[in-house]
């Protein structure tokens, strides 16, 4: 994996990129949590998501939103962050023109951004939501968009978070999107204990590997 700087709307976006050795390998972009809550591309959950895609054979990229660590500019609004997301998706696609599969994965606020981006990018093949932020309630942007994805939660997350996941599942179902849910036993939303983080990584890798293998049979 290599550090790269991608030209964005507010300056350079700092990213880490792994290029698969397999020609035409599927692509993935990892979205970290809320930068105003100190989340970044090298936090434990973002790195675990990145490694799961990398270890199942994807070319994968993770990055810092504007204003975070070495990414230039000031911490932005939702609209600003969505511009950064669009920029890095364009970059990985332009540098892998032989690939026609791309997945998005996000944690916390990044999970909400995943769904926003998926509605704007019809080429997105699948998605992963890790402990989505239950304080976000605006899903008016959802529209019918056949797809499938995975939601991973800690089994020890709050009742509000679990109720939120059930509500989100129903919203996505109405939009023709299938959502599989896995709860990591004894884990909180930060996957604080190393075995919990490892289980989250294993669950994500198994799901993505299975779904991508099914795609290859079509």
Greatest CA separation for the chain: 45
Q: Torsion angle of alpha carbons 59, 65, 68, 69, nearest 10°?
A: 20
pLDDT tens readout for residues 92-144 = 999 999 999 999 999 999 999 999 999 999 999 999 999 999 988 889 999 99
DSSP string, 10-72: TEEEEEEEE--SSTT--EEEEE-S-GGGT--TTSHHHHHHHHHHHHTT-EEEEEPPTTSTTS-
Query: And the tokens for 17?
Result: 């990129």
Tell me what pLDDT residue 217 has: 37
pLDDT tens readout for residues 147-162 = 999 999 999 999 999 9
User: What would the 3-class secondary structure string for 101-161 be?
Assistant: CEEEEEECHHHHHHHHHHHHCCCEEEEEEECCCCCCCCCCCCCCCCEEEEEEEECCCCHHH
Sequence-ordered list of residues with C-beta below 8 angstroms from that of 133, at least 6 positions apart, any chain: 33, 34, 108, 109, 111, 112
Query: And the tokens for 172?
Result: 């996505």
Residue 91 above 50 pLDDT?
A: yes
Other beta carbons within 10 angstroms of residue 61's beta carbon come to 26
Structural domains in the chain plus CATH codes: 2-216 (3.40.50.1820)
Residue 189 above 60 pLDDT?
A: yes
Other beta carbons within 10 angstroms of residue 214's beta carbon come to 10
pTM: 0.93
Give the position of tokens 């972009």: 29
pLDDT category at 218 given cuts 50, 70, 90 is very low
Tell me what pLDDT residue 145 has: 86
On average, the pLDDT of the chain sits at 92
Minimal CA–CA distance to 105: which of 12, 208, 1?
208
pLDDT tens readout for residues 173-182 = 999 999 999 9
Distance CA 37, CA 43 (A): 12
pLDDT category at 214 given cuts 50, 70, 90 is low
Hey, is 193 helix, strand or coil? coil
Tell me what pLDDT residue 211 has: 79
- Asked if residue 86 lies in contact with residue 117, where contact means CB atoms within 8 angstroms, the answer is yes
pLDDT tens readout for residues 22-69 = 999 999 999 999 988 888 999 999 999 999 999 999 999 999 999 999
Tell me what pLDDT residue 212 has: 75
């Amino acid at each position: 994996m290599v550090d790269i700087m991608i030209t964005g709307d507010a300056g350079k976006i700092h990213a880490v990129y792994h290029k698969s050795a397999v020609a035409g390998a599927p692509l993935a972009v990892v979205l970290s949590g809320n930068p105003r809550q100190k989340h970044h591309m090298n936090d434990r959950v973002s790195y675990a998501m990145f490694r799961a895609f990398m270890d199942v054979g994807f070319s994968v990229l993770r990055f810092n939103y504007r204003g975070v660590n070495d990414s230039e500019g000031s911490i932005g609004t939702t609209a600003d962050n969505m511009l950064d997301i669009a920029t890095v998706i364009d970059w990985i696609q332009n540098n892998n023109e032989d690939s026609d599969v791309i997945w998005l994965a996000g944690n916390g606020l990044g999970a909400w951004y995943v769904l926003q981006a998926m509605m704007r990018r019809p080429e997105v093949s699948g998605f992963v939501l890790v402990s989505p932020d239950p304080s976000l309630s605006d899903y008016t942007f959802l529209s019918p968009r056949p797809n499938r994805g995975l939601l991973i939660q800690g089994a020890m997350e709050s009742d509000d978070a679990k109720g939120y996941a059930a509500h989100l599942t129903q919203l996505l179902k109405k939009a023709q999107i299938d959502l599989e849910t896995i709860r990591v036993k004894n884990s909180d939303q930060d996957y604080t204990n190393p075995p919990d983080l490892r289980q989250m990584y294993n669950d994500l890798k198994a799901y993505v590997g299975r779904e991508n293998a099914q795609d290859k049979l079509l």
